[in-house]
Structure 1
Amino acid sequence: MSSAFPAAPAAAPRRAHWIVSLALAALGGLALDAATPSLAWWPMALVGAPLVLAAVWQQRAGLGALSGAVAGAAFWMPQISWLTLYLGPIPWLALCGVMIAWFALFGLAAALATRGLARLRLSPQAVVAVQSFAVAGLWVLREQLQSTWPYGGFAWGRLAHTQAEGPLAPLVSWVGFSGLSGLLALAGAVLGAVLVAAWFGTGIAAVPDAADAQDVQGSKLRSRRLRLLAVVVGASLALGMLALVPPAHVERAGTLRVAAVQGNAKSAIFDDRENGDVFRDHVEATATLLDRLEAEGETVDAIVWPENSAEFALPDQPYRELALRELSERADAPIVVGTVLRDPDDTFTNSTLVYDEAGGTGVRYDKRRPVPFAEYMPNREFFRALVPDLVDLVRLDYRAGTRSAVLEIDGAGGSFAAGIAICFDIIFDDHAVALMGRGPTGGGVESQVIFAQTNNADFGRTDESAQQLAIARLRAVETGRALVNISTVGTSAIVLPDGADVDRLTPFTRDAMVAEVPLSTGETPALRYGPVVAAAWMLLGAAGVIAGVIVGAIRGPIDGSVFRRRNAAQRETD
């Protein structure tokens, strides 16, 4: 039979032995981690996803959940190990525990879906197609749920993120982050199904007759594995064709010559510094930049500083405001700065302000996504009872911003609209919608360029800043906007709408980058239809697990040994 999935009557769905399943899950999780910075071996995502899915493919529910948990642990524990740098193991273990639980639920749902759908009265190829779409949908559903709950979620470690520096990155401008994750998971599901079929049986049913028994035991087993190779080659060719898709086109509306300043400031929570040191570092770095520009006879339209670069309560610091006015007058350009503000109602915001030679312009953005357990403490009394020393490190409770995420700035070369993302704002899909002027804090004006201000000092020289830049890079492609990712210490880069770096700074150096970037207008298909694509994948996943459970209940429990005895009896009769 030419198919990689030999036809057979419904019987006990084949699956990996439990030891093999756990090993596949662990290897798959580690491969997914290797696909992200700092290694950033993007092809490993095309290895890791199939291994994880082969581990849970047609498994019993309990082993599916356990395999999912193992895959989650193998991925998340190294992926976010940067949390341990200053805060120790407790926050790391807590966040890992939540993310591993989501992976375990995914493994449970994927096992139920694939095991139940394996017993549909369809051709083997059709069954695998149905299973694969269901599992891909469940993968996207897991990513969406972890990005929402608890405490606003953690939209990190998504399958799409592995492709930030790979040839499939342009697809994100057409289908969005969830769409790209779904396509990668779909390819992984097909390969995982074929892997199970080639190494652990037919992947669909028990062997029905003597000929198939010889197939499993002899030369046709090799033939089936050759067909596995053919499917792998076919899937690789399909992905190769997708890699030829260019980024979605958006209109250009001129250019912006922008500078971004990395002060290399001691801005981490436990850094030994005096009040004003972080601000002073950025003032001095900006002055050095202006010296260079003046020597070269160059100018800029705007200057961007990182998150928290102006420290606390900038409008209440006349000497700091004076320094910014002098720098702006010298540059003949506005300066976009980060500061912490205290409002009249005694609430705090992590904010962005714009200064020019006259002082504060009144243009302001407040971070929409304060980070729980870092910028505010949810359920403070409860967690203080558990870890009082850690909880009391979070002294301020920042509120979520409600202002427009798009600032209209009068630059040296004319006005432009800058979408602002402070730190983890950039990782959330709804913020990309806000940057286009839509949603609760969109403001009705779409951005032409994105300024992503961040302070990564709390994570030292770990992978965190590189992982965040990878997400920001994909966000530039998704939106069709140039993006300035500027950090207090790095990793800082100016990214073009196609995802390419036009300038980049060495982490932990005081420096500045300057580039001329396009101003863009209009929405990519990803922003226009991305929520619909995400919803479609999630509906496929939910429908798949529901159908799998229903089919399994209707067909009743299956004991593979019964079918083997029936097959043996049939062979004796023949």
Structure 2
Amino acid sequence: MRPPVLVAAALAVGSGAVLVAAFPERSWWFAAPLGVAGLHLALRGRSARGGFGVAALAGTTFWLLQLSWLTTYLGPVPWLALATAQTLYVAVAGAATAALLRAADRTWAPIGRIAFVPLTAAGIWTGREMVAGSWPYGGFGWGRVAASQVDGPFAELLAWLGPGGTTFAVVWLAVFAVELACAPALGRVPAAALVAGAALAVSAVPSWKPTDVGELRVAAVQGGVDASLFSEAEPGDILQAHERATEGAGPVDLMIWPENASDLDPLASPDATARLDRVAREAPLLVGTITGRAGDLVNTSLLWEPGIGATDWYDKVRLVPFGEYVPDRAFWRQVAPDLIDLISRDYAPGVEDNVFGVAGTRIGVGICFDVVDDGLVRDMVADGAALIVYQSNNADFGRTEQSAQQLGIARMRAIETGRTVVNVSTVGTTAIIRADGTVTGSLPTWTSGALVDTVRLHDGITPAVALGERIGAGAAMLGVAGLVLSVFGAVGRRRGSEER
């Protein structure tokens, strides 16, 4: 089945739009396999060049809609640039998938094609997500199919297969359904039964049961104040807002403030030091701030105790390119000088471990964009973290879906690691997430308050953490190997027929 060009184009655009609906705030998990299936159908019968164009339509639609929050303060240029870059990955993967499908027509018998093509196409998709999430400049691990599944029947896969394996399984199921539906040898009823059986098999994975090792009473504090790049707040205003939001939090074991909660460096400002000391009298305080050390500017999370000050710290490792630093500044300044000059000084990446010891408990800490880094979350668990905290400042994105999308990734991390996650933000979404991905409590965005709860601490290593990137890398290698095998097989058959 080869859709006409205009039908394929419409399918591609529609598939990109449907895939967006799988992510927060809509969170229609079933839209992900539907979007993947629509794009796969649009690619059938196309050349590699045609597949590039069709997939580019789907990618452009998806990324422009998914990243619309970038325009809030920075305008259209960063939005269009990032969407274009991500679309190129989708287009290349589309070209590879189209080449696979065309080669499979010559290489595989119908039953072999049904078995082989879904595995290879899912591997190509997974490989595309891996590359886009790591290159260039550390990549952009946003919009992964796995992150859309936290509310669906495939969520349990995250603890067993991690993000890469979960993406592979969902894409495989979608492509399997399309290939079955287009198989001339099968009727509609047998094909539907096979798809239903495959879906049940994928969703039948048992839930991971982490070991319960205790509890910790925490207060996640949200200042509800504009801490954005263009904030008009006076120095100390953001710190004061979080002081006020902490009042009345009650007795807790740990208070958690978000990224940039102290807009005065407590390592350099006596005023900030005294104010954090007062807050920390009630309990140890985990606070985000910007510090200057050894001539470097760093985005820091400090563990603060009264009378002692900072007893431990973590400097953000996964810095946002073109947000916290400018790679290849001289080149990019020629392209967009006004935007590049907004980032007058680059932050330095951290080198410390990302686990703190608080009241006898090991706590993993990530700052904002760290949440997309698979390696950092595995490091936390390997270092004994029984609880994970993500501190963020989402004020730069206003009242858009960005914070909800980020919360979705944090929920994915909870299931993947089998850990409770506390997600705390200057303006939202501040939430407490159980190890099964369930949100047990949250604060409304752009409000001031403290979310107080007793959270469970967990031990144990999920298969996803134990196997790490080997799952996704294996799936990607399967995609490459399958593509190469199909193309060479098709070439060999063509040469054989020509010789005869």
Taking structure 1 as the reference length, the TM-score comes to: 0.84
Aligned twin of 2:147: 161
Take 1:454 and 1:229, find their aligned partners in 2: how far apart are those partners? 49
Q: Does 1:96 align with 2:46?
A: no
Letter in 2 for 1:423: C
Q: Quickly say closer, same or farther: Cα 1:499–1:120, change in 2 above 3 A.
A: same
Take 1:187 and 1:384, find their aligned partners in 2: how far apart are those partners? 44
Aligned twin of 2:128: 142
Letter in 2 for 1:544: G
CA-to-aligned-CA distance 1:10-48 (integer Å, 9 cap, x gap): xxxx42222222111111111110111121111111211
Take 1:468 and 1:243, find their aligned partners in 2: how far apart are those partners? 24
Take 1:498 and 1:475, find their aligned partners in 2: how far apart are those partners? 10
Structure 2 unaligned spans of 5+: none
**Alignment check: 8 A CA contact 1:264 1:508 kept:** yes
CA-to-aligned-CA distance 1:200-246 (integer Å, 9 cap, x gap): xx4x9xxxxxxxxxxxxxxxxxxx6xx34543454234324543433
SS at match of 1:519: strand
Q: Does 1:171 align with 2:157?
A: yes
Q: Radius of gyration: which is bigger?
A: 1
What percent of counterpart residues are identical? Answer: 37
CA-to-aligned-CA distance 1:367-425 (integer Å, 9 cap, x gap): 1110000000111121212211111111220121110011112x3xxx11110110010
Take 2:19 and 2:30, find their aligned partners in 1: how far apart are those partners? 9
Aligned twin of 1:285: 245
Aligned twin of 1:68: 55
Q: Work out which of the residue numbers 411, 416, 422 in structure 1 matches 2:367.
A: 422
Q: Work out which of the residue numbers 539, 554, 560 in structure 1 matches 2:492.
A: 554
Q: Work out which of the residue numbers 381, 397, 404 in structure 2 matches 1:459.
A: 397
Deviation at 1:428, TM superposition (A): 1.5
Aligned twin of 1:483: 421
Aligned twin of 2:376: 431
Take 1:484 and 1:434, find their aligned partners in 2: how far apart are those partners? 17
Letter in 1 for 2:331: F
**Alignment check: 8 A CA contact 2:169 2:202 kept:** no
Which runs of structure 2 are paired with 1:266-415 in the superposition (5 Å)?
A: 266-289=226-249, 293=250, 299-329=251-281, 331=282, 333-344=283-294, 346-409=295-358, 411=359, 415=360
**Alignment check: 8 A CA contact 2:333 2:341 kept:** yes
Take 2:141 and 2:160, find their aligned partners in 1: how far apart are those partners? 20
Deviation at 1:168, TM superposition (A): 1.6
Letter in 2 for 1:376: Y
Take 2:210 and 2:24, find their aligned partners in 1: how far apart are those partners? 29
Deviation at 1:303, TM superposition (A): 0.6
Which runs of structure 2 are paired with 1:206-225 in the superposition (5 Å)?
A: none
Deviation at 1:247, TM superposition (A): 2.6
Take 2:305 and 2:192, find their aligned partners in 1: how far apart are those partners? 58
Aligned twin of 1:492: 430
SS at match of 2:156: helix
**Alignment check: 8 A CA contact 2:239 2:264 kept:** no
Which runs of structure 2 are paired with 1:223-238 in the superposition (5 Å)?
A: 227-228=187-188, 230-238=190-198
SS at match of 2:469: helix
Aligned twin of 1:247: 207
The number of residue pairs the alignment matches comes to 498
Structure 1 unaligned spans of 5+: 1-13, 205-223, 294-298, 438-444, 560-574
Deviation at 1:126, TM superposition (A): 1.7
Deviation at 1:533, TM superposition (A): 1.4
CA-to-aligned-CA distance 1:243-302 (integer Å, 9 cap, x gap): 34333122221111111000001101112110111111001111242xxx2xxxxx2110
Take 1:141 and 1:380, find their aligned partners in 2: how far apart are those partners? 29
**Coordinate RMSD, CA, aligned:** 1.9
**Alignment check: 8 A CA contact 1:138 1:541 kept:** yes
CA-to-aligned-CA distance 1:165-187 (integer Å, 9 cap, x gap): 22221210010000000000101
Q: Work out which of the residue numbers 476, 494, 498 in structure 2 matches 1:538.
A: 476
Take 2:131 and 2:80, find their aligned partners in 1: how far apart are those partners? 19
Deviation at 1:476, TM superposition (A): 0.6
Take 1:347 and 1:236, find their aligned partners in 2: how far apart are those partners? 56
CA-to-aligned-CA distance 1:145-192 (integer Å, 9 cap, x gap): 000111110000011111122222121001000000000010111122
Deviation at 1:115, TM superposition (A): 1.4
Aligned twin of 2:225: 265
SS at match of 1:274: coil
**Alignment check: 8 A CA contact 1:307 1:339 kept:** yes
Take 1:501 and 1:518, find their aligned partners in 2: how far apart are those partners? 13
**Alignment check: 8 A CA contact 1:494 1:501 kept:** yes
Letter in 1 for 2:388: I
**Alignment check: 8 A CA contact 1:267 1:488 kept:** yes
CA-to-aligned-CA distance 1:53-90 (integer Å, 9 cap, x gap): 11113421111111111110111110001011111111
Take 2:189 and 2:244, find their aligned partners in 1: how far apart are those partners? 59
Aligned twin of 1:569: none
**Alignment check: 8 A CA contact 2:258 2:393 kept:** yes
**Alignment check: 8 A CA contact 1:113 1:547 kept:** no
